[in-house]
Structure formats: structure tokens, C-alpha cells
Amino acid sequence: MLDLLIHNATLPDGRSNMSVAVQNGCITEVSAGLQAPAHEALDAQGQLLSPPFVDAHFHMDATLSYGLPRVNASGTLLEGIALWGELKPLLTHEALVARAMAYCDWAVAKGLLAIRTHVDVCDPRLLAVDALLEVKRRVAPYIDMQLVAFPQDGVLRGTTGPQEHMETLKRALDRGVDVVGGIPHFERTMADGALSVKLLCELAAARGLRVDMHCDESDDPLSRHVETLAFETQRLGLQGRVTGSHLTSMHSMDNYYVSKLIPLLAEAGLHVVSNPLINITLQGRHDSYPKRRGMTRVPELLAAGVNVAFGQDCAMDPWYSLGSGDMLEVAHMGLHVAQMTSQAAMRQCFDAVTVNPARVMGLQGYGLQPGCHADFVLLQASSQVEALRLRATRLRVYRRGQLLAQTPAATSTLFMPDRPDSTSWRQGGK
Ligand SMILES: [Zn+2]
């Protein structure tokens, strides 16, 4: 007998009236109208069953710290970094863990079951690293978490000197941090930025680890570290294992240069993560009008065959006062800023918060095929586009076939003469 049988589901590829059979935490069969005995049967009523949302770019050590010790008055990336520097001496292990665990509760309720989070490794005590390693352990039954060793102050620029910074970063990796990070545009010079990319990629290659760098997160059209990242990826044979995050300078670059750059990224098998909510909030702050939005060139990268994901990046921290772990909100914003409004482009935006970030993280067993983990979200929508339009309610969230979270359908009761008694904002019906 099956553990769980979901029937009458619509799948992201558009197939409807589909059944999904689950046994021992795995999907065993996906077919139309399957009948089989099961301990639990669920009628999806034609709603969209999706693999869980994935966030390939987050900062869990800073989350839910908004207002501590003060708010970011200018709204810039650089004031955010300075503010984080003021907050760091005040952090405690217990408070870091409590805030991160609370965010993970939000994430699960939003169907977000895999998160790659950067963790600042400039503190020689590695306080945040130890806290997030504990969080990773505690949430492992329900969230796949990857940690990135992120030298927020610059691995060469930091105040304790490059040698000690690199040693601290290596100690973080020794303790179980999964991925090598970097921030080349924050190093003192363009040359130091390029050197940091080289050193950190070599470290990742030597240890067999993936790389995910904050890269060119500025409005400077001449910030071109992603070119170096692609070069080092190829030189060291790291294709498919390296991610360039943000790449906001590409928004401002010369078009001719970009016509050379994007094929280089594709050739190197580089993954790209764009963070629409944060990029458009932090960038362009030195502009009058027109104000640049700073989001990287998502449709052009996708057209060149580059795997692009959308990330949440921040939620209620020194850089961003909003956010709730809702990846449909992230994709909704990305869709608007990138003007990805065709039906096909909107479906690409849905992929950018599901299958694409799963590839960035190298998740195994992700998807709705037989043999995959029985991890999925039932949405109050009949298609990916409707899910984006409504930032649809996550009716049920499952991990390994077990129910993790449940939310009542969003419906408003109406009290108007000659009108229906309720609406759920669906086309052609309630
Ligand atoms: Zn970031």
C-alpha cells in the first residue's frame, strides 16, 4: 500500500489530472488518473503541485536583525555593510540561532525547503559560522541548507590582514561550511579583487568545493570581476560548480562588452543568481534621473543558455527591511523588472525560484519524477503564471511525503447584492 497518493494535480509542465504516488519518502509513480490503495489520499482539485521553492542566495546570519542597532538611513549597500560591522560585536550565538530558526519557520510555511546562505567568516571567533552550523543541523529534517564562507570585509582588505582572513575562512570550511564565497568588488583595488577571485577559486578547487561569489554588486560599469570568475572557472576545471551572485554592474555595462561577456559565462558553465528585491533597492542610489535599477541582464543570460536563479538575499536586516521567505514575491519582482511578461518568460521566472536554483545548489533527488524525493508544494493556483500573479497560498507543504505546513485557501467573503458570496481572485470563477 502507498503512503500517500495525490490525485487530480496539475504539474508545472502543464499536464493536468495527474496522480503522484509516494512510498518511503520517494515519488514512485507519476501518471494520469492512477488508482491505488494508500494510507493517505489527497484530491488536489486541479491545483498546481510544484517541487519546493529553492533560494540559492540568502544571508541567514543577518536575518530578522532589522533595527539593530539602528536602521540603514541612506539605503545603500555600503551603509548596510557598515551597519553590519556595528552589529557584529553585539551578536550572540543564542540570538543568531533563534532568529535563523524563526526565518526557517517562515520559509517552510512558504514552501521554501532548500536555502543556500552566506555566512560572514571575518570574525576570528567564527560565532556566526557555529550558530548557522547548529541551525543547519537542526533544520536538516526539513530544509536542505548549504553554507557559503563569505568574507564580508574582503578577504584581502579586512582589518586583520589577508593571511589571517584566509586562515579564518579555511577554518570555517574545516568546520563544515560547504561553499567558498568572496566579494571581489569590495576589495581595495580592481587588481586585489581579481587576485581574491583567483585565490578563492584555487582554494575551492584544492578542496573539491563549489564557489559562490558576490560579484560586481555595484553600478560601476567597469566592475568586471565576473569575467575573472569565468576565466578561473575554466582554468581550474570548475565548470558547473561556480556561481556569480548579483552581477549588478552588468546592468550598467557597455552593450558591446556584454556581447562578449555573456558567451564567456555560458562557455564556463557559470550559474548566475540575481536578487531582484535587493538589487533594485540598493543600486542606483547615486543616480538622479533616470535611476538605474541594477538588476543583471536576466533574459539575455537565459537566452545564452546560462542557468539563472532569483534569490531572496535579505529579509529584515541591515540591507532590506522587508521580505518573508516568499520566493513567489521574489520571482514576481524579477518578472516585472526584467520585463519577462510573455507566458514563456513568466514560466522561466517560476523556474528561477525552483529548478534553476536547485541546479545552482546541486540538489540531488529534486523534482517531480519517479525516484525523486517526495518533496512538493500544493499551490492555490492552476498554473505557474497564476501562482506568480497571486503569490499563491501554499495550501500544503510536504517533505519526504510528510506534511510540514498547511495554510487555508485565500478567500474573501463578499456582502454585496447580486454578486457572488466570495472571491479567490481566480479567472472565470471564484
Ligand atoms: Zn548577498
Contact between 61 and 128 under an 8 Å Cβ cutoff? The reply is: yes
In this prediction, residue 162 has a pLDDT band, given cuts at 50, 70 and 90, of: confident
Q: Tell me the CA–centroid distance for residue 294 and ligand 1, in Å.
A: 14
Average pLDDT, integer, range 30-38: 94
Residue 22 and residue 133 in one domain: no
Domain match, 276 and 405 both: no
Q: Check residue 429 and give its pLDDT.
A: 61
Ligand 1 midpoint to CA 252 (Å): 19
Q: How far apart are CA 5 and CA 42, in angstroms?
A: 6
Q: Is residue 428 part of a domain?
A: no
Which protein residues have their CB within 5 A of the ion that is ligand 1? 313
**pLDDT score of 428 more than 80:** no
Question: Mind giving me the DSSP string for 14-51?
Answer: S--SEEEEEETTEEEEEEET----EEEEEE-TT-EEEP
- 215 alpha carbon to ligand 1 midpoint, in Å? 9
Question: Based on the domain organization, do 115 and 198 belong to the same domain?
Answer: yes
Q: Which one of the listed residues 217, 227, 232, 329 is annotated catalytic?
A: 217
* Statement to judge: residues 195 and 320 lie in one domain: yes
Q: Which pLDDT score, from 0 to 100, does residue 158 have?
A: 77
Within a domain: residue 423?
no
For residue 140, the model assigns a pLDDT of 98
Q: Going by DSSP bridges, is the β-strand pair 394-399/376-379 parallel, antiparallel, or unpaired?
A: antiparallel
**What distance in angstroms lies between residue 339's CA and the mean position of ligand 1's atoms?**
23
Q: What's residue 36's pLDDT?
A: 93
| pLDDT mean over 159-181 | 93
Closest Cα partner for 311 from 368, 374, 251, 247? 247
CATH of the domain at 316: 3.20.20.140
326 and 199 both lie in a single domain: yes
pLDDT of residue 40: 96
Q: Are residue 267 and residue 187 in the same domain, yes or no?
A: yes
Average pLDDT over residues 347-355: 98
Question: Which residue would you say has higher pLDDT here, 307 or 164?
Answer: 307
CA of 200 to the centre of ligand 1 (A): 17
What pTM, to 2 d.p., does this model score?
Answer: 0.97
The pLDDT score that the predictor gives to residue 430 is 55
Q: Nearest-CA neighbor of 354 among 26, 12, 60?
A: 12
Please report, for the domain that includes residue 35, its CATH number: 2.30.40.10
Closest CA to 325 of 308, 336, 312: 312
What's the CA-to-centroid distance between 116 and ligand 1, angstroms? Answer: 10
Q: What pLDDT, on the 0 to 100 scale, is given for residue 315?
A: 96
Q: Which residue, among 239, 240, 161, 154, has the nearest Cα to 197 in the 3D structure?
A: 154
Do 25 and 87 fall into the same domain?
no
Q: Answer yes or no: do 71 and 34 share one domain.
A: no
Residue 250 within any structural domain of the chain: yes
Decide if 399 is inside a domain: yes
Query: What band does 55 get if pLDDT is binned at 50, 70 and 90?
Result: very high
Q: How far is the CA of 373 from the centre of ligand 1 (A)?
A: 29
Question: Percent of the chain at pLDDT above 70?
Answer: 100
The answer as to whether 42 is a domain residue is yes
pLDDT tens digit sequence for 63-74: 999 998 899 999
- Co-location of 318 and 340 in the same domain: yes
C-alpha cell belonging to residue 144: 536542505
Tell me the average pLDDT of the chain: 96
Q: How far is the CA of 390 from the centre of ligand 1 (A)?
A: 26
> What does the pLDDT average to over 13-38?
96
Q: Are residues 181 and 223 in the same domain?
A: yes
Tell me how far the alpha carbon of residue 378 lies from the centroid of ligand 1, in angstroms: 29
Residues 15 and 99 in one domain: no
> Which of the listed residues 328, 346, 361 is the one where a domain comes to its end?
361
CA of 152 to the centre of ligand 1 (A): 9
Mean pLDDT on 193-217: 97
Q: How confident is the model at residue 224 (pLDDT cuts 50, 70, 90)?
A: very high
Of 346, 361, 376, the position where a domain reaches its end is 361
Region of poorest pLDDT, from 66-70, 206-210, 337-341, 377-381: 66-70
Domain that includes residue 188, residue range: 53-361
Whether 98 maps to a domain, the answer reads: yes
Q: Is 217 a catalytic residue?
A: yes
pLDDT band at 275; cut points 50, 70, 90: very high
Distance from the alpha carbon of residue 424 to the mean position of ligand 1, in angstroms: 35
State the total domains in the chain. Answer: 2
In a 13 Å sphere around the CA of 321, the CA atoms on its Cβ side amount to: 9
Classify burial at 413, counting beta carbons within 10 Å of its beta carbon; exposed 0-12, middle 13-18, buried 19 or more: exposed
Ligand 1 centroid, distance to 400 Cα (angstroms): 29
Residue 235 lies in a domain: yes
- pLDDT single digits (tens) 304-319: 999 999 999 999 999 9
Quick one: pLDDT band at residue 88, thresholds 50, 70, 90? confident
Amino acid at 207: R
Average pLDDT over residues 92-118: 98
Same domain, 230 and 267: yes
CA of 58 to the centre of ligand 1 (A): 6
CA of 224 to the centre of ligand 1 (A): 17
Whether the CB-CB separation of 121 and 176 falls below 8 Å is answered with no
The answer to whether residue 425 is domain-embedded is no
